[in-house]
Each structure stands twice: as C-alpha cells, then as structure tokens.
A and B are shown apart, each in its own frame.
Chain A
C-alpha cells in the first residue's frame, strides 16, 4: 500500500514536472506538446490509477468522489456558458453564426445516423438507450477544440488573419449545438411526464432542464450581486454548481447543459459576471485536471467492438467536418472568401467532448456505455494530435501561414 502511495505521488510529480518543463524549457513537436497542452496526460494518469492498472481509483473510491466529478462536469458547463455573452457574439457577422450552425449540425448528422444503426445492431440495449448513445456521440463530434487553434495563433501571430478568425469563432461556438443536443438527448430518454400531460414528455423535461438552469443562474446571480469576498464567491460558485449538477443528475438530466444555461444567464445579466469569470478562469485548470484524471480512471475498453467503432467514428467525424465545412461555407454566403476544406481547421476535438461523454457515463449502463466512452476518448486524443497539422495545412492554403 505504501508502495502504491509513493507510486502515485511519483506519477503526479512526473506529470506535473513534465507539464511545466514542456512549456518553459523544451521544444517538443506540436503533437507531443498538445498532449500536455490539452491535459491528455491526465487522462493517461487516470487510466494508470484506475481499476485496470494500479487500482487506487477503484470503483468504490470513484463513487465516493462522485461529487468532485460532478463539480468538474458542472464547472466545464458553467465556464462554457459564461463565455457566451450575446453582446460579444453579435459583434460578428450573422453569416459566421450560420456557418457554425450548419457545419456543426451536418457533422452531427453524419456521425449520428450510422452510429444509431450500428449500436442498435451490436448491443442488446433499449431503443432509448441506443438513441441516447448515438446522440451523445453526435454531440461530441460536433465540438471543436480551441486550444490547438490558440497555439497556432500564438506561434504564427495570426490575430488579424480572417480565416483564423473564423476558425476561432466557429470553434468557440459550435459546442453550443452539441450541448443543446446533449441536453435534449437526456430529456428524450424520459418517458414520465413532468406536468402530468401525456404529450411529449421529452420536451417537458427539456423545459424543466432550461428552468433549472435559469433558476440556478438567478440564485448565483442573487448571491453574488451583493458585495462578497473572494472566498465567499468561491463558496457560492462551487455550491451552486454542485447543487445544479446534483439536481440534474438526480433527475437523470445533463449537468453540463444545465450549468451552461446557468452560465449563459450570468454572462448576459449585469452583475458579477466578470468576477465569476475571473474566479472560474483561476479554477478552470484544477477542475479540469481532477475531472480528466477521474475520466481516465473510469475508462474501460468495453468490448472488442470499441476500437473498430472508434476508427469508424474518426472517419465519419473527419468526413462530416470536411463536408459540413464545405456545405456551410457555400450556404452561409461566405463561400467565395473561404478556402476549400474549411473543415480541416476544425478537427481538434478537445475538452468539451470529454465532458459530454463523461456526462453520459454515470447514467449509461452495460458494455455499450464503456464503448461510447472509449470511442470518444480515443477520438479526442487522436484528433488532438492530428488537428493542429491539418489546421496549419488549411491556413497555408489560405495564405495566412507563409513560413
């Protein structure tokens, strides 16, 4: 046991020292740097600590840490939501939003249909279970990571470059479509009505999700509007995120979605948005690391179908992003100014997809859940590795990177 403890301490130190060294001293290749930049190493640490290897984060322990896991999940949602300030979004041309929406919906559809069919054939799960799994995969596929684009941005100083600007805009917003799909997916599984009306129980639950997010947003807004210290702000933010995540999970809804709604409300109300945002920025990384470690710890391959399905997912998502980017560029009215293969710049998948699949994990059951988790985690890691090179290829084609 002592050996285990020391082993874990050493693992953590190696990971974190490695993380620091990567940024300050060594010049690793882009892909390898991204492993650290996106926190993929923490998923791998989680895998090492989990049941399959060291066993420190075994199932009872993870169950005991569920609140921390839910806190991480909710915080990711809140951070995302609080970034959605309508005033900022509306500063950009409307065709940017159209383009974002079209490419995201297109990619999700390309992934959803084949997977709905494949999962229903391969797993003996209920129709609603398969529908949920396919929608989760689709929602994850729609997301694009901002981290790799930010890295390219920094490296090549592309602040004013128009294609890069569009990619930045799309990557910051396309998860909204996925998030709403995810929120709706959890509601569609519910058969029992909320309001006693027999019709459309799924929509009733969706309305309830929105209501919970809004109510929690007003609560946090009310709590933080009066003068409060930084420590109090921390208590209110953590408490509200936990409460809303707890309510969401208790009703088998999406904590990620509900917290994002809460964040959107805070972002668009006058008050302590900036202070909450500042606090969340400070806490984002610790939350995210704990969350990724736990995500890695619960990761099990599931079945032999996991890897072939992961390969299919990668392929479909790639095709979906390319085709979605093409269709979106043509139909949004921005086509003539954009290079072919816009989707190449939107391959990196990032943390929101991990959060979405982790949101699904506690409510799923059986080998299909493990397979869905494997598909997304493998997809995220490989897409993160390939994403920057493909984005740079696009930007070279567009003439924005010349060296």
Chain B
C-alpha cells in the first residue's frame, strides 16, 4: 500500500467515524483519543509524502496539523487540541529531555567560543536591528495611534527581543531526523538552548521598561524581573534534581526506563503547569518555559554528570518518533494561521529582516571564532524556527499591554507561523550541506 493511498484511507476512516452517526450514538469524551490516533497516522503520512520533495518531515507534520486543524479543514477541533494539552506538554518535556541529552560537554567545550560569539552578535545585531525596522515600518502597524512615539518604542523593543527567540524542540527534532552529529550540530543546539534562556530575561527587561515608556507615571516593574529570574533559577535547580533522580534510576534499576522517563516527563509537565498557573494568577506571567528548561537541564545533567547518558539517549531515541509526530502536528493544529490573513505583509517583512540579521550575526560570530567557511555561510540558516516560548512571549504582551497587546500578538503569531514552517527546511538544508546529516532529506531511516 503506498503512503498516499494509506493517507486517503486514514482520512476516509476519520470522515466516516466523525460524520456517519449523529450525536446520540457517539461518545464525545473519546474524541481526543480518536484525534490523537488520526493525527499520528495522517501527519506521519503527510510528512512522509512531503519528504519525497525533500521537505523535512517535521515541516510535514506541522503542515498536516495546520491542514487538518480547526482553521482549515476542521478535522481536529480547537476543543480537542486544548484537551490534548497534557499530552502535548508531556511530549514537550520528553523532547526537551532529548535536547538536553544531546548537549555533550566534551563536544561543546571546543565550540564554546563559537557559541558565545554567535550569541553576542545575535543579541547586538538582531534586537536593535528588528527594533529599528519596526520603528521604520510603523505605517504597517495600524493599531498604534498617530504620534504615540513612546508606544512605538515599546513595540519596537518588544519585537526586537521577540526576534531572538528560537525553538529547541524543532532543532532537536530535525537533528534527530537527520541523525546529525558533529561540531556544527553541537553549536546549533548550544546556541539555540542558551538563547532561549537568555531571551526570557531580555524580554522581561524590555517589557518592564516598555511599561514605563507607555505609562510614564509607572515605575519599572522590578518584581516582575525578579519573578522571571527566580523562575529561571528554580527551573534549573529542579532540572538538576530531576537529572539526579534519572541518573540514580539508571544506575540502580534500569528496568522499564521508558515508563520511568514518561513518568518524569509527566511530573515535569504537572509541576510546570501548577507553577505556571500560580505565576499567572499572581503576576500575570505565563512563559511556558519551565517544562523546557527543567527537562533540558535534566537531560544535560544525565548526559554529562552520570554514567547513564548513552542508555538514556538510546531509550529516548528508540521511542521518540511518535512523540515528534504528535507534538509537531498538534503545534500545527494550534497555529493561528488566520492571523496571517491581515498581517501577512508586516509578518513577511519581519521574517525576512529577522532572518537577514540572524544570518549576519551568525556569520560574524562564526568568522570571529575561526570556524570553517561552510559553517559561517550556513550557521544563519539554523536559527529561524520559533515555537512554544515565542507563543508564551506573545501571551505576555496581550496581558501586559491590554490596549494594543492583542493586535501586536497577532503579528507575533503570524511571524511564528511563518518561521515554524520555513525554519525546519532551512535547518535541515544546513545540516545536510555542512555534511553532518547522516540521513539525506527524503530518505527513509532504516
């Protein structure tokens, strides 16, 4: 059976299941399970079909999610996406554990200079560059009142900081898909993970000062900054503790490691969810950062400070594909592609400007670190994707700037959507071109 035929059959089964009987016969509580299975098969098959055209499977899963999701075909409803949130968070924790596990100190140490310089140039070039562009592109932001210079500066600063955000989950998924390994890959992963950490602090600082800009009577919200800093520190500490527990388990038990990792991922998701709810209630802050940071730290700890790194990664690697499929297809289904309808022009321009600046910054960082010419040329292609944390930043803007935050968040979501679609393709191309991908695009792993 060809994959295209299988895809048609899966769609047909779903159609029949959903619409063959009226509501009196059906049991709505089963919809998440039905959707989960449908998305896993359909998204994988879409990814596989698109892979024939050298498009990364991750992009295929996201595209499938978009096409089957609430904003296009409606096979997957918004309610079901929301009901699958816990599964989504579980998957994210699992992926982030893998991302942390891929960061090997022995391989990162020689790349430290390159990582640091890339981070430095990115912060120095991308933040002010994107902010300057937003200031210039003011006519494309109709929600800003005429003459409201302080608001324009606030929006520019926020967009500048937002442009720094990356997606470690997408990076690790592509790296795994290509079975990439080598100095370029380690640098990409290192920069992506560390930048995601830095961007939170930078964003908190920018938002804090933007509040003062917009409302001169207010004072800088230092409590907000402190909470963000405390959250980062707490997440890292919890991550180390979780890493210690996993290491102990591998040393002392080892049996049923997959179930144990799943249990740990669940606890991280649960813990983060509770912490997020607490912070949102008291500080209006919801970063969606905790599961990522805790898990990355835990994976990093197991890989670098215990004997069980290879066992851990082997067990994660063998069961990761279904998790990537469901995570990225749900990401696609949750993307508000409708946001593009009204903001496509400014969103596209922002994507282009951000990409250009990231490319320049990466080139400069790699060149100064003495990296080979191929690394310099290709590094910039590796940092385009944006996802979960970026969406969390958009949420903060909505809550902190009620007057125009919603409209700005729509632009941010549109930018994320475009970057999420383009980013994986560029990263896979870079990994292949630099020669670190062990599986070429479009080929099946075996």
> Taking beta carbons and an 8 Å cutoff, which residues of A are in contact with B?
1-2, 5, 8-9, 12-13, 16-17, 19-20, 56, 61, 63-68, 70-71, 190, 192, 215-216, 219, 222-223, 225-232, 234-236, 238-252, 285-286, 289-290, 362-363
Flag if A9 contacts B245 (CB, 8 Å).
yes
Flag if A190 contacts B322 (CB, 8 Å).
no
Q: Name the residue on B nearest A8 (C-beta).
A: B267
Q: Smallest distance from the beta carbon of B253 to chain A beta carbons, Å? A: 5
Which residues of B have CB within 8 Å of A190? 25
Q: Smallest distance from the beta carbon of A38 to chain B beta carbons, Å? A: 15
Flag if A246 contacts B36 (CB, 8 Å).
yes
Which residues of A have CB within 8 Å of B26? 250-252
| A242 contact from B9, B33, B245, B254, Cβ within 8 A | B33
What 0/1 pattern do residues 300 to 323 of B give for CB contact below 8 A with A? Answer: 000000000000000000111110
Flag if A192 contacts B37 (CB, 8 Å).
no
Decide yes or no whether B282 CB sits under 8 A from chain A. Answer: no
Q: Name the residue on A nearest B47 (C-beta).
A: A235
Flag if B321 contacts A234 (CB, 8 Å).
yes
Which residues of A have CB within 8 Å of B318? 230-231
Q: Name the residue on B nearest A246 (C-beta).
A: B34
| A20 contact from B5, B41, B85, B255, Cβ within 8 A | B255
| B27 contact from A65, A232, A250, Cβ within 8 A | A250
State in angstroms the CA–CA spacing of A225 and B5 once bound together.
13
State in angstroms the CA–CA spacing of A68 and B89 once bound together.
13
Main secondary structure of the interface of A (DSSP, over half): helix
Q: Name the residue on A nearest B267 (C-beta).
A: A5
Q: Which of B113-121, B161-169, B218-226, B257-265 contacts A (4 or more CB under 8 A)?
A: B257-265
Known contacts A13-B248, A246-B35; A64/B86 CB under 8 A: yes
Flag if B87 contacts A67 (CB, 8 Å).
yes
| B21 contact from A8, A68, A251, Cβ within 8 A | A251
Known contacts A243-B37, A246-B38; A61/B444 CB under 8 A: no
Which residues of B have CB within 8 Å of A245? 33, 37
Number of A-B contacts (CB under 8 A): 179
Flag if B36 contacts A61 (CB, 8 Å).
no
Which residues of A have CB within 8 Å of B25? 190, 192, 251-252
Q: Name the residue on B nearest A6 (C-beta).
A: B241
18 A-B residue pairs with CB within 8 Å = A5-B267, A9-B264, A16-B255, A64-B86, A64-B87, A67-B36, A222-B5, A222-B6, A226-B1, A227-B446, A240-B41, A243-B40, A246-B31, A250-B27, A250-B33, A252-B26, A285-B256, A363-B27
Which residues of A have CB within 8 Å of B146? none
Flag if B84 contacts A67 (CB, 8 Å).
yes
Which residues of A have CB within 8 Å of B260? 12, 16
Known contacts A247-B34, A285-B256, A289-B256; A1/B321 CB under 8 A: no
Which residues of A have CB within 8 Å of B249? 13, 16
| A1 contact from B29, B85, B271, B445, Cβ within 8 A | B271
Decide yes or no whether B24 CB sits under 8 A from chain A. Answer: yes
Known contacts A13-B253, A228-B444, A235-B321; A223/B37 CB under 8 A: no
Q: Name the residue on A nearest B84 (C-beta).
A: A67
Listed residue (B30, B275, B445) with the most chain A CB atoms within 10 angstroms of its CB: B30
Listed residue (B5, B44, B322, B446) with the most chain A CB atoms within 10 angstroms of its CB: B322
Known contacts A225-B1, A290-B259; A249/B34 CB under 8 A: yes
Known contacts A16-B249, A70-B33, A229-B446; A235/B322 CB under 8 A: yes
Listed residue (A67, A241, A248) with the most chain B CB atoms within 10 angstroms of its CB: A67
Q: Smallest distance from the beta carbon of B15 to chain A beta carbons, Å? A: 12
Listed residue (B263, B325, B444) with the most chain A CB atoms within 10 angstroms of its CB: B263
Flag if A235 contacts B34 (CB, 8 Å).
no
Flag if B13 contacts A19 (CB, 8 Å).
no
Interface residue count for B (Cβ, 8 Å)?
60
- Give the 8 A-B residue pairs with the shortest CB-CB distance, closest first: A242-B37, A246-B34, A243-B37, A222-B1, A64-B86, A249-B30, A239-B41, A239-B40
Which residues of B have CB within 8 Å of A236? 41, 44
Which residues of A have CB within 8 Å of B271? 1-2, 5
State in angstroms the CA–CA spacing of A216 and B83 once bound together.
25
- CB within 8 Å of A: which B1-23 residues: 1-2, 5-6, 9-10, 13-14, 17, 21
Q: Name the residue on A nearest B319 (C-beta).
A: A234
Q: Smallest distance from the beta carbon of A191 to chain B beta carbons, Å? A: 9
Flag if B40 contacts A66 (CB, 8 Å).
no
Flag if B6 contacts A235 (CB, 8 Å).
no
Q: Smallest distance from the beta carbon of A278 to chain B beta carbons, Å? A: 13
Decide yes or no whether B133 CB sits under 8 A from chain A. Answer: no
State in angstroms the CA–CA spacing of A25 and B408 once bound together.
62
Decide yes or no whether B270 CB sits under 8 A from chain A. Answer: yes
Flag if B27 contacts A249 (CB, 8 Å).
yes
Which residues of B have CB within 8 Å of A243? 10, 13-14, 34, 37-38, 40-41
Decide yes or no whether B252 CB sits under 8 A from chain A. Answer: yes
Which residues of B have CB within 8 Å of A17? 252-253
Decide yes or no whether B32 CB sits under 8 A from chain A. Answer: yes
State in angstroms the CA–CA spacing of A64 and B269 once bound together.
12
Flag if A192 contacts B445 (CB, 8 Å).
no
Flag if B32 contacts A66 (CB, 8 Å).
yes
| A229 contact from B86, B254, B325, B445, Cβ within 8 A | B445
State in angstroms the CA–CA spacing of A64 and B33 once bound together.
10
Flag if A5 contacts B34 (CB, 8 Å).
no
Q: Smallest distance from the beta carbon of B326 to chain A beta carbons, Å? A: 9
Q: Smallest distance from the beta carbon of B232 to chain A beta carbons, Å? A: 17
State in angstroms the CA–CA spacing of A336 and B40 once bound together.
54
Known: A13-B248, A17-B252, A245-B37. 20 other contacts (CB 8 A): A5-B271, A16-B249, A61-B86, A64-B84, A64-B86, A65-B86, A66-B30, A67-B37, A219-B10, A229-B446, A235-B41, A235-B321, A241-B37, A243-B10, A246-B34, A249-B29, A250-B17, A285-B256, A286-B256, A362-B27
State in angstroms the CA–CA spacing of A66 and B24 once bound together.
21
Known contacts A16-B255, A67-B87, A243-B13; A362/B444 CB under 8 A: no
- CB within 8 Å of A: which B388-446 residues: 444-446
Flag if B44 contacts A235 (CB, 8 Å).
yes
Decide yes or no whether B52 CB sits under 8 A from chain A. Answer: no
Flag if A67 contacts B33 (CB, 8 Å).
yes
Flag if A250 contacts B31 (CB, 8 Å).
yes
Flag if B267 contacts A66 (CB, 8 Å).
no
Q: Name the residue on B nearest A64 (C-beta).
A: B86
Decide yes or no whether B274 CB sits under 8 A from chain A. Answer: yes
Flag if A235 contacts B29 (CB, 8 Å).
no
Flag if B86 contacts A246 (CB, 8 Å).
no
State in angstroms the CA–CA spacing of A229 and B34 once bound together.
25
Q: Smallest distance from the beta carbon of B173 to chain A beta carbons, Å? A: 13
State in angstroms the CA–CA spacing of A251 and B27 once bound together.
6
State in angstroms the CA–CA spacing of A290 and B266 once bound together.
12
Q: Smallest distance from the beta carbon of B280 to chain A beta carbons, Å? A: 15
Listed residue (A56, A286, A362) with the most chain B CB atoms within 10 angstroms of its CB: A286
Which residues of A have CB within 8 Å of B29? 63, 66, 249, 362
Q: Name the residue on B nearest A231 (C-beta).
A: B321
State in angstroms the CA–CA spacing of A267 and B444 once bound together.
26
Q: Smallest distance from the beta carbon of A75 to chain B beta carbons, Å? A: 12
State in angstroms the CA–CA spacing of A66 and B275 once bound together.
23
State in angstroms the CA–CA spacing of A42 and B444 once bound together.
38
